[in-house]
């Protein structure tokens, strides 16, 4: 080991010795290696089969980003002033760490490309899904991919913008002969989002209308403005503070004002989180229902049964609104048209379909009639304030999105016109992908029609899932 005099002569303190040139050089090599391995994997992914261009463009972008970072890392290492101060050396090492963190994140994003191969997707839904998203959110790429986690999710932040922000700090490290940042991201020509679904449900068309909920998150982003945040604060701040002051306050002493201020701050943060998260989820449900109709009602109940219907919003569940409330808001959209239910014989001649589907609707309506969820929320003063504001905002937003989505919204006439024929195809083991009343007349079924036909078929099964003696009916 070098003597203390040697260390001091190089202006490196004993605490800095583990940042010796040799050690940092080895660390830099590891970062470069990670960049190269990730870029190579991206190139391997380009030879796979995908149902759209989105995964290919993402893979190309990730590869270029890794090459860009590799160049930046080499430049940062060469700029380390080994004869400089500890602070100058540490600044460069910190930037190497920043680059390393980003490379690891990009490597993790390879899972998006890997999951988007054709064989891992519900391939028959890719084109209808792309058509729907292009119509609703033009000039935006929405990529579909499965995930092992059992959840439907969406990356609402523009990934292209996020990538730009990741690399922006390294622009000065790239000399003129290398690609600039705009060239690195040129394969992403527009905002880029990813919607994920549970891989377990890849073949379960019944739940794929929940993709409409995720699309709803993207569509509803325009409603959430800084002005809306300010309006919530101005409308509710005083009430929230008054609510805190009504609680049992700590004994009056030197620390009392500080404790009260912390309670007020926590209450304000809780109210804002509960309001925003609740409104985000409920608006996504509302928009999804406008797009997919009655299937959203049935699929939401299916998911809701996996949880407590009346679980109140809290930090532990990311302030999700109660399932019973979500079902109730979906019902309001369905009932706004007035003629979805009960099913009428003019649309459905099959008495079994009418009886079974109407019975399921009545069951869901009874579930929503209970106000257990609302009563629990009202018992919490802060949640009560947040959800009163949510109710007001939903009324405003629903009118806005009804107008905005008018050409895409589902009506009984548009949905039920072909549905009996599509259900009959399912009954006969034929995919419900087309309306073919005759040899010369064929219309391709929409994604919305296919999913609703599948749900009506499922609800109207004539055979019980379990027989009277408890035997599971495999057929």
Question: Using CA atoms, how far apart are residues 371 and 309, in angstroms rounded to an integer?
Answer: 11
User: Above 90 in pLDDT, residue 332?
Assistant: yes
Q: Is 246 exposed, middle or buried (0-12, 13-18, 19+ CB in 10 A)?
A: exposed
Question: Using CA atoms, how far apart are residues 122 and 451, in angstroms rounded to an integer?
Answer: 13
Mean pLDDT of 225-243: 90
Question: Using CA atoms, how far apart are residues 55 and 116, in angstroms rounded to an integer?
Answer: 6
Question: Using CA atoms, how far apart are residues 200 and 147, in angstroms rounded to an integer?
Answer: 9
The answer to whether the CB of 322 falls within 8 A of the CB of 310 is yes
Q: In sequence order, which residues have a C-beta less than 8 Å from that of residue 472 and are 6 or more positions away?
A: 465, 466
Q: Cα separations (Å) of 256 from 81, 247, 248, 269, 450? A: 51, 13, 12, 20, 62
Q: Is 358 exposed, middle or buried (0-12, 13-18, 19+ CB in 10 A)?
A: middle
Q: Write out the H or E segment, with its range, that includes residue 115.
A: helix 110-115
Can you give the pLDDT at residue 475?
Answer: 62
Report the mean per-residue pLDDT for the chain.
Answer: 89
Name, of 14-23, 218-227, 253-262, 456-465, the range with top average pLDDT: 218-227
Can you give the pLDDT at residue 177?
Answer: 63
Question: Using CA atoms, how far apart are residues 135 and 112, in angstroms rounded to an integer?
Answer: 23
Band (309; pLDDT cuts 50, 70, 90): very high
Can you give the pLDDT at residue 454?
Answer: 92
Question: Using CA atoms, how far apart are residues 45 and 33, in angstroms rounded to an integer?
Answer: 18
Question: Using CA atoms, how far apart are residues 292 and 81, in angstroms rounded to an integer?
Answer: 61
In DSSP notation, 343-391 reads --TTT---HHHHHHHHHHHHHHHHHHH--HHHHHHHTSHHHHHHHHHHH
User: Above 70 in pLDDT, residue 81?
Assistant: yes
Can you give the pLDDT at residue 250?
Answer: 64
Can you give the pLDDT at residue 253?
Answer: 65
Question: Using CA atoms, how far apart are residues 469 and 448, in angstroms rounded to an integer?
Answer: 37
Higher pLDDT, 469 or 269: 269
User: Above 60 in pLDDT, residue 181?
Assistant: yes
pLDDT in tens, 256-266: 777 788 888 99
Can you give the pLDDT at residue 12?
Answer: 46
Can you give the pLDDT at residue 452?
Answer: 94
Question: Percent of the chain at pLDDT above 90?
Answer: 64
In DSSP notation, 283-296 reads HHHHHHHHHHTHHH
DSSP structure class, residue 149: S
Higher pLDDT, 428 or 244: 428
Band (1; pLDDT cuts 50, 70, 90): very low
Strand order, beta sheet including 153-154: 141-147, 192-198, 153-154
Q: Cα separations (Å) of 467 from 264, 352, 375, 463? A: 57, 18, 38, 8
pTM score = 0.86
CA neighbor of 167 nearest in space, from 20, 69, 58: 69
Can you give the pLDDT at residue 463?
Answer: 63
Q: Is 147 exposed, middle or buried (0-12, 13-18, 19+ CB in 10 A)?
A: middle
Q: N- to C-terminal Cα distance for the chain?
A: 77
């Amino acid at each position: 080991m070098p003597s203390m005099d040697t260390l001091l002569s190089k202006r490196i303190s004993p605490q800095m010795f583990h940042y010796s040139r040799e050690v940092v050089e080895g660390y830099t090599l590891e970062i470069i290696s990670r960049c190269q391995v990730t870029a190579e994997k991206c190139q391997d992914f380009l030879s796979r089969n995908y149902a759209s261009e989105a995964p290919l463009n993402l893979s190309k972008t990730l590869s270029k980003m890794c090459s860009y970072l590799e160049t930046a890392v080499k430049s940062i290492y060469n700029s380390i002033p080994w004869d400089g101060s500890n602070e100058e050396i540490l600044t460069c090492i910190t930037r190497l760490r920043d680059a390393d963190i980003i490379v690891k994140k990009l490597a993790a994003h390879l899972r998006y490309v890997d999951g988007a191969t054709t064989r891992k997707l519900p391939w028959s839904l890719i084109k209808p899904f792309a058509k729907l998203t292009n119509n609703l959110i033009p000039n935006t790429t929405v990529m579909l991919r499965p995930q092992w986690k059992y959840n439907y999710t969406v990356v609402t932040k523009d990934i292209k913008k996020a990538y730009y922000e990741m690399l922006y700090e390294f622009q000065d490290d790239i000399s003129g002969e290398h690609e600039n940042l705009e060239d690195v991201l040129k394969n992403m020509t527009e905002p880029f989002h990813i919607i994920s679904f549970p891989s377990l449900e890849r073949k379960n068309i019944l739940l794929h209308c929940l993709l409409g909920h995720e699309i709803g998150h993207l569509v509803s982003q325009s409603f959430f403005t800084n002005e809306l945040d300010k309006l919530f604060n101005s409308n509710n701040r005083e009430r929230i503070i008054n609510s805190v002051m009504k609680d049992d306050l700590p004994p009056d002493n030197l620390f009392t004002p500080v404790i009260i201020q912390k309670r007020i701050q926590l209450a304000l943060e809780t109210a804002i989180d509960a309001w925003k998260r609740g409104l985000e989820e409920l608006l996504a449900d509302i928009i999804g229902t406008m797009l997919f109709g009655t299937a959203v009602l049935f699929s939401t109940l299916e998911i809701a049964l996996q949880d407590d219907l009346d679980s109140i919003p809290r930090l532990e569940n990311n302030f999700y609104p109660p399932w019973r409330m979500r079902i109730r808001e979906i019902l309001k959209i369905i009932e706004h048209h007035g003629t979805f239910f009960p099913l009428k014989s003019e649309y459905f001649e099959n008495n079994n379909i009418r009886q079974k589907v109407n019975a399921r609707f009545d069951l869901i309506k009874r579930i929503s009639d209970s106000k257990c969820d609302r009563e629990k929320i009202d018992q919490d003063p802060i949640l009560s304030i947040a959800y009163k504001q949510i109710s007001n905002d939903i009324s405003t937003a629903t009118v806005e999105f009804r107008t905005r989505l008018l050409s895409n919204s589902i009506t009984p006439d548009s949905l039920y016109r072909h549905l009996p024929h599509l259900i009959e195809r399912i009954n006969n083991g034929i995919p419900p992908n087309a309306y073919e009343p005759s040899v010369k007349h064929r219309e391709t079924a929409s994604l919305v029609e296919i999913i609703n036909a599948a749900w009506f078929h499922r609800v109207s099964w004539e055979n019980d899932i379990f027989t009277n003696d408890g035997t599971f009916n495999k057929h």
